[in-house]
Amino acid sequence: MPNLKTTLKNTALRALRGTGAYSVAANSAARRSKLLILCYHGIALRDEAEWAGHLYITAERFRERMECLRALNASVLPLGDAVARLKANSLPPRSVVITFDDGFYDFLHHGVPILSEFRFPCTLYLTTHYMGKPYPIFNLMLDYLLWKSGQSEVSFSEQGIAEPLSIIDWKRRRDIVQRLVAWLEAQKLDTAAKNGFVSNLATQFEIDYDDLLRSRIGQILTPEEVVRVARAGIDIELHTHRHRTPRIRDQFVREIDDNRVRIAEITGRQPVHFCYPSGVHADDFLPWLHDCGVETATTCERGFARSESNPLLLPRLLDDSNMDLVQFEAFVAGVLS
């Protein structure tokens, strides 16, 4: 449920829209000089939007967003073309870029058909370690199972969490997940063994884990599915191999190189655009990315890209289940910045 501040903000935006201010802003020179890069993570296959509304959006709401872009006559551009035109000060009216992070199966299932219907270009930043593995992303599934359990608190005595801890919200679950991930990595467990841990946890919570595996919740695309995505006209770009950004140069460069090799093997093209995993970026990364031949990099910092923006620190708008349509419209029109 939205809080009072959000409700008042949305009411004010609806009133502003009724005055014609959205149209004025959308057609202004100020809006034309800016590029809005939209960021999405997942489109729910089942109840993911209820579990993690900050990461997932429903297919119905995503379609609503695309209908909004069409209704506002937004110029939806490919990422590379958009950034080049931004630097040349030649953007068309209401310029927008659509990006998806990670490369979950739900993007192929829901995202590609909807984008194809509207004929909108899109960039998919693909992380490749889990690609082809029949397992969900470990830490995401761990959090999902804690939420799905319906319990208010849990303990993991064998993993050093003897005291019962609350799991009633995402922040509390995140702390437990981080402690469990650290313990499991200290045991040097591989991906299959970590999957065994969450499988046993699902059994403990009386959750049908085989059914979750069949649903493909939290699973990265297979190489064959990436081919289908690319053939649908989606640009496949860099997101590191293991979804991490080490602060040591050689390890950072290896993440880019491993990611690029796997993408090139599948798509036949060399990716040159990058997205920081979890939005984590640092000044040290910029020369490293430049040395790797990366042309643009997007963050999770909210805002519009402008001609003076650093191409390796491009802001985006994270769209999720917590954003009302009137707010989305306001960003596209340029009323909110």
- The pLDDT score that the predictor gives to residue 1 is 55
Q: What is the mean pLDDT of each run of 10 residues along the chain (337 residues)?
A: 78 89 93 98 98 96 98 98 98 98 98 98 97 93 97 94 94 95 93 95 97 97 98 98 97 98 97 97 97 98 97 97 94 93
| CB-based contact 238:293 (threshold 8 Å) | no
**Measured between alpha carbons, how far is 203 from 63 in angstroms, rounded to an integer?**
35
DSSP annotation of 278: G
- The pLDDT score that the predictor gives to residue 7 is 85
pTM of the model: 0.96
Residue with tokens 């993993």: 159
- The pLDDT score that the predictor gives to residue 8 is 85
**Measured between alpha carbons, how far is 133 from 114 in angstroms, rounded to an integer?**
26
Write the burial class of residue 279 (CB in 10 Å: 0-12 exposed, 13-18 middle, 19+ buried).
middle
